[in-house]
Structure 1
Amino acid sequence: MAAASLLALIDDIATLLDDVALLTKVAAKKTAGVLGDDLALNAQQVAGVQAERELPVVWAVAKGSLVNKAILVPAALAISAFMPWAVTPLLMIGGAYLCFEGVEKLAHRWLHSADEDAAHAAELMQAAGDASVDLVALERDKIRGAVRTDFILSAEIIVISLGAVAGAAFSTQVMVLGAVALVMTVGVYGLVAGIVKLDDLGLWLVRQARAAQGAASHALQGAGDAILWLAPGMMKALSVLGTLAMFLVGGSILNHGLPLAHHGVDALVQSAALAWPAGHLLVQALLPLAADLVSGLLAGSLVLAGVSLVKRLFARAGSRAA
């Protein structure tokens, strides 16, 4: 009996770990949009920081991110345990916020002029190179801003992950959210560290090429030039892919949370598959993505319009009071 009980316990543990691995994978896929944005935003936070201080700044933000998740994970578990009815509304709010962030990015060139962006970038670069500027204070400001940004994005990740495991046992929820929090933090900030040091790697290869001879010199020079050319474009690509993924993830959350939208998308996919039997696999794969993208754009536009209207009303009320 003892042996049978031990085997049963081992089987239960193995099943639990399988469930954790599967649900963690599902949660990670659902948070892909946030991660893309997280990578771009946090890498941008260290723009203008002196090269030798880049990694310490990233490490400081990573520690702040761990503190954020140490607060958010227990809060999410408490909500799941005592207010499970709140998971879906929180998930919908998180999805709407994702869409809002995406639309706000697209609208950035209309909301902020290119001169403002250029002036801000020049100010950062000048401050980083000016010996009279307190770099410690500058770094602290950057770190605080990055940690605040991380808190919002981490909250989205945890809420989305909680929605993916809402029906699982509490122990599974603990393990999944803990795994997601740890893996996402290590993965995101490890990649951020790699991205911000890419240009240094390129310059190092170019220097090595000057010391080498023959084919080795040409190979090192080519690799260094390629990395230096790739580094600026990588951030832009991350930003574009992150924004697209935010619409897809946020739109998917909203479509699944609203029964009318969910059934409407299913009916549309079935009708399109019947109308084009030869391409039914392509229709089933692409049409839901298109529906999520459209829903994300519409929802984000509505939220942005609402936020802009509220800001204008408060600004008018403030001007009248003055």
Structure 2
Amino acid sequence: MAGGLVALLDDVAAIAKLAAASLDDVAAASARAGAKAAGVVIDDTAVTPRYVVGLSPQRELPIIGKIALGSLRNKLLFLLPAALLLSAFAPWAITPILMAGGAFLCFEASEKILESLIGGHGEAEEEAAVDAKTLEDRQVSGAIRTDLILSAEIMAIALSELPDLSIGTQAIALALVGIAITVGVYGLVAAIVKMDDIGLHLTQRDNALAQTVGRGLVKAMPVLLRILAIVGTAAMVWVGGGIIVHGMEEFGLTTLPHLIHDTAHHAGEALPFAGAAIAWIVSAIGAAIVGLIVGGVIAGGLHLLPSRKGAH
């Protein structure tokens, strides 16, 4: 009996060591994948606030909560299993699917730009005519749809950092990355859109410095939201264009990707004091130009369709 108990304890100890090693693997894999995908967080954070601009301040946090839940659903229920299945059985399909999503982002951004250039009064009147709940549902739906593309890129980038792990470890690592990035992005978005409320609270404090900071936050909020709306549209263009450029490289169409890369590299070398930043900016501009061309062609083509013209 004693020998059996000792053997059992040895087995338990061995299982515990194995579990600890697995947890270490998951933690390391999650950190590695999350760091690689973190760049997309900037784009996601810039895009989201524009969906609450013009809505009731009392509904800002509930709307962000709905979008955050939709983002988690995108990542955990749809993209995570899809990414694992595609990686295991059809890895060749990942790039064209991402490129299609990138083209959709470019189209949405180009639509926004076209509306601002030719006048979006009709849409503004239409939004004013619908009730608040319908408008809120429309904004949430649009945000979750855009998030699906950005989240797909996050999951694809994260998965690319986990090639040699078991499918179970990959799934746990991707889930941790998805949850961490979603909490980080939408927590920051919530802080941004409530900045004016924070400022108003500070103006009611007895401290003179707090009052000054509070008034500055309240005054800066409209400007910040306008800037974020512009940055959000630009982010959709450069992220979508970047996905397309990367996909072209994957398919062996390297002329344009190499042109963008070489231009960015030379620009960075010309200004070595900020070489990395300059190279990134030039690369983003190149991707944005591609995104504008692709999105403009799609949006222009759709506007020429009879049904589309009739709808407008």
TM-score band by shorter chain is 0.7 to 0.9
TM-score (norm. length: structure 1):
0.73
CA shift, 1:107, in A, is 3.0
Give the C-alpha shift of residue 26 in structure 1.
1.1
Task: For residue 299 of structure 1, report the CA deviation from its aligned partner.
Answer: 3.2
Residue 8 of structure 1, CA deviation: 6.2
Cα 1:186–1:222 shift into 2, 3 Å:
same
Q: Which residue of 2 aligns with 1:294?
A: 286
Q: Measure how far apart 1:87 and its partner are.
A: 0.7
Change (3 A) 1:222 1:95: same
In the alignment of these two chains, the number of paired residues is 291
Secondary structure of the equivalent of 2:38?
helix
**Aligned residue among 83, 92, 107 for 1:100:** 107
Query: 1:37 Cα deviation (Å)?
Result: 0.6
- Residue 263 of structure 1 pairs with residue 258 of structure 2: yes
Offset, 1:109: 1.5
1:18 match: 28
Contact 1:37–1:238 (8 Å) recurs in 2: yes
1:107 is paired with a residue of what secondary structure? helix
TM-score (norm 2): 0.75
For 1:27, the equivalent position in structure 2 comes to: 37
Separation (CA, whole Å) in 1 of partners of 2:300 and 2:43? 24
141-150 vs 227-236, which moves further: 141-150
CA deviation after TM superposition for structure 1 residue 29, in Å: 1.4
| CA 1:34–1:285: 2 relative to 1, 3 Å | same
| Letter matched to residue 27 of structure 1 | A
Quick check: 1:78 aligned with 2:110? no
- Could you tell me how far apart the structure 1 residues matched to 2:76 and 2:39 are? 21
Single out whichever of 14-23 and 245-254 deviates more from structure 2.
245-254
Superposed displacement of residue 89, structure 1: 0.8
- Deviation digits for residues 3-55 of structure 1 (CA, Å, limit 9, x no counterpart): 788656644542332122111121231353233212x23332xx332x44443
- Measured in 2, the distance between the counterparts of 1:311 and 1:33 equals 27
Render the CA deviation track for 1:148-177: whole Å, top value 9, x for unaligned: 123322321232123211462333432343
Structure 1 residues 278 and 110, CA gap change in structure 2 (3 angstroms): closer
Report the CA distance shift for 1:80/1:297 in structure 2 as closer, same or farther (over 3 A). Answer: same
Q: Identify the match of residue 303 of structure 2 among 292, 303, 311.
A: 311
Distance of aligned partners of 1:98 and 1:14 in 2 relative to their CA distance in 1, 3 Å threshold: same
What percent of counterpart residues are identical? 29
The corresponding residue for 1:163 is 156
Q: Residues 13 and 205 of structure 1: is their aligned pair in 2 closer, same or farther, counting only changes over 3 Å?
A: closer
Give the aligned partner of residue 203 of structure 1.
Answer: 200
Check the 8 A contact 1:205/1:224 in 2, yes or no.
yes
Q: Structure 2: which 5+ residue stretches go unaligned?
A: 1-9
Alpha carbons of structure 1 residues 19 and 281: separation in structure 2 relative to 1, 3 Å: farther
Matched letter for residue 151 of structure 1: I
2:174 to 159, 174, 177: 177
Distance 1:77 1:228 in 2: 45
Matches of 1:318 and 1:119 in 2, distance apart? 17
The RMSD of aligned alpha carbons is: 3.6
